[in-house]
Each structure stands twice: as C-alpha cells, then as structure tokens.
Structure 1
C-alpha cells in the first residue's frame, strides 16, 4: 500500500516537472494573448515603425513599415564608424543565417558619409544584404538617430520591438533576432 502511494507521488511529481518545463512553449501558447496593435507611429519600442522607402546601392527600392511576411532589422551606419566596421561581418552572417525569416537592411546615412566611401565599405566587408541610401538623413532623423550604428528590430506586424544604440556581441544580437522572429 505504501509502495503504491510512493509510486503515485513520484508520477505526480514527474508530471508536475514536465508541465513546469513546458510553460514557455505548448501550454503557455494556448493561454498567450495577442498584444494589441498600436495605433501610434514613432521611433520607440511598442510603436509602429515610421514607414520609409529608400533606393539601394543596387538601384532597387526598399520599404519598411506596416505588416510584412518577415520581421525586419534596420541598421543605420556610416563607413567611417569603427563600431560599424566591427559589426559588419556579424550582420552579414546573421542576414545570411536568417534570410528566410528576417529582412536585414543596412541603411547608409549618406548625409553623414560619402557615397564612394559607402561603396568601398560594402566591397571591403562583402556585404550581401541590401544597402538603402538615406541621402538626406531624413529617415535617420525620423528614427531619432543619435549614434552609429543604430539597430531597429521590427516585428512582422510592423511594430518596433527594440532599438539598440551601438554594437552588441554577435551571440547577444542573435538572441534578440531569435526573439524577434519568434513573435
């Protein structure tokens, strides 16, 4: 009789542990409520990303704003920026790794740079992701840009999830990207 009670208690304990480990996935997903859609646009987390369209180095037009199939990562940079030089290979790697789930745009703030230097930077670091040109700095201003790089993480609904000033270690940046594409 005591043996059966111990077996029953052990089974209940194991089930409790299994349920506790699954709270971040299956069970929690059932009870997870959708965040309400913001109605305000602005350059901060929780608001709709200010929309823009810019022409890239490749002559194509790239647009940000509104709902999309993928999350969007926008990195504002300049060729003379040492942290941007450090981050470029990491962004290239992450853009390639998450290309099916993330649109990564490296917006060159050409108003603070020179076009020939931006092109040389792209060639030197062999950047494979689109490089839209913010020739007048209006988009950078829309996002209250104050430092290079400024990285904006936008979910597929078009809502800014985070703005990162400066660089992060690649593993930390990748963790943020994983969280972004999971939303």
Structure 2
C-alpha cells in the first residue's frame, strides 16, 4: 500500500471515530430522560400478574409501602435473592407489598423458573411484557429494587442483589412516615 493511501485511510478512521464520539456525547447530553432517583415521585403503572389479575401501583400504594423488584429468569442474583424476599414477606406484610416485576419474558419461562425454586413465592409477580415499566423506571442491570413509601416517593434504589439486611432496610424505608 502506498504511503499516501495509508495516510488517507488513517485520517478517515480517526475522523470517523471523532464523529461517532461527538454524536454519542451529543445524544447523551441532550437526552431528557434521567434515571429515577431517591426523592422522585414513583411512576404509576398497571400490569397483569402471572395469575391473570390486573395490579395498579397507585392502588397498592394507597395504604402500603411498595418494593418493586425487577428481575429476569436468566439472572442468577435474582434467583438467589428471591427465597430471602419470600421468607421475609411471609413473616408479615401488612404495611408493605413486594411486587416482582419480570422484565419481558414469557409465562412459560417464568413458570419453569418458579418451579425450579425450592418453595412457592407468596408475593405477586407482575409481567412487564413490553418493558414499559422497566423503561419508565430506567432500570438497567438486573436485579434492580426500588422502595416506594406510602406517599408515593422513591425512598431507596439498589442495582444489585439484595441481602437479608437490605430487604429489611427496604421494608423499613417503604413503611416509614
């Protein structure tokens, strides 16, 4: 390859990289959407549960704190935290509700996942088939858990597996006045 051709090729590659970086930065800096943060109002939604019932966040949140746990069947940390959430939920949940929001998977996949667990889950499983709720809450990695207090305000958010202490903390945050 001639020296002149190599220089043109190098210049073209460098120019392309600079343009792509500029476009990426422009889209990121001008984007209106920001991730839901602690202190923000919760985004209301209505989803169907695995049992075929409709659930509305604002109806649950009228008199209870709510813990939204976004998860997927392929997610090992999700699998590991669910038994702890279920055990704590079964201790009593008069003041709060856990809602496991499955992110865009089919009922067959979910049922296979649930049947592989050692015990049946007591909390409702909501189906976010088209990812509208996941997008509204700008959920990235799974699991992501969000606690909403009785006033409809996000009071805690965690983007990794919950420990038992984390679950109790989420309950405390969601039920405090």
| TM-score, normalized by the shorter chain, greater than 0.5 | yes
Q: Which gives a bigger RCO, structure 1 or 2 (Cα 8 Å, sep 6+)? A: 2
**Residue in structure 2 matching 1:70, options 64, 67, 78:** 64
Deviating more after overlay: 81-90 vs 92-101: 92-101
Q: Does 1:135 align with 2:121?
A: no
Q: Give the match's secondary structure for 1:133.
A: strand
1:132: how far off?
0.7
Q: Residue 65 and residue 48 in structure 1: after superposition, are their counterparts in 2 closer, same or farther (change >3 A)?
A: farther
What number of residue pairs does the alignment pair up? 140
**Residue in structure 2 matching 1:96, options 73, 90, 103:** 90
TM-score by length of 1: 0.71
Q: Give the match's secondary structure for 2:130.
A: coil
Q: Does 1:47 align with 2:40?
A: yes
Query: In 1, Cα distance between the equivalents of 2:88 and 2:50?
Result: 20
> Could you tell me which residue of structure 2 aligns to residue 29 of structure 1?
none
TM-score by length of 2: 0.73
Equivalent residues of 1:48, 1:65 under 8 A apart:
no
Deviating more after overlay: 124-133 vs 139-148: 124-133
> Could you tell me which residue of structure 2 aligns to residue 168 of structure 1?
162
**Residue in structure 1 matching 2:108, options 103, 107, 116:** 116
RMSD across aligned C-alpha pairs, in angstroms? 1.6
Q: Which consecutive segments of 4 or more residues in structure 1 shift more than 2 A?
A: 122-125
Deviating more after overlay: 115-124 vs 149-158: 115-124
1:115: how far off?
2.6
Unaligned runs of 5+ in 1: 1-41
